[in-house]
Chains A and B, each alone.
Chain A
């Protein structure tokens, strides 16, 4: 069952601005991951943060995790038109029991 909720559901910003998306979840987790989905394609892994980590960076991406609030945020800095996509957070409980996804944020970068 879905336990993650992304917010906002849709976000439209100008190229060059920063984009922030939030994700909440309900149960305890092992890892939290962020994925990107371009229209008509599969998910592409962006970044993984473990439950004992608070912040992680990868290029223009910054992810935070607050396990006390059961929430995470994804920041994309200096956005580009190519960042236009849907972004999903996903949690796992360890093992190979599959990921639990949020509903996604649709990000549009206006040139």
Chain B
């Protein structure tokens, strides 16, 4: 598609439950990025992929967060044993080349109760 598609738009989980978010990058884009936005500002980079390979995961809290980009499937970001502080909007972005502008989806709002 011509837009980055993120699902679901909203996700509500009880503390300790698992949350899984999905992202379909723009067709032909080889690079996928995940960001976390807390309180309508402060974007934090989590992880990037080149095709199905992790490129940089320095922003990921590895104990509970994991992500995948498998061929012919949407990319996913999974959070195990969610905590209240995981409440945020999670954005996915894609680009054709690493230094080109990134195209963002509209995000998934995750609320942990």
Contact = CB atoms under 8 A, between A and B. Distances in A.
B50 A33 contact: no
Interface string B31-48: 101010000111111111
A100 B45 contact: yes
Interface stretch (B13-21, B67-75, B79-87, B104-112): B104-112
B61 interface: no
Classify chain B: how many residues form its interface, as a range: 20 to 34
Interface stretch (A19-27, A75-83, A91-99): A91-99
Given A99-B45, A103-B41, A42 B101 contact: no
Given A42-B91, A45-B102, A95-B56, 17 more contacts: A2-B42, A33-B101, A42-B104, A42-B107, A43-B91, A44-B104, A45-B101, A86-B40, A94-B98, A96-B31, A96-B48, A96-B49, A97-B45, A97-B48, A97-B55, A97-B56, A99-B35
Interface of A: 2, 30-31, 33, 35, 40-45, 48, 86, 88, 90, 92, 94-101, 103-104
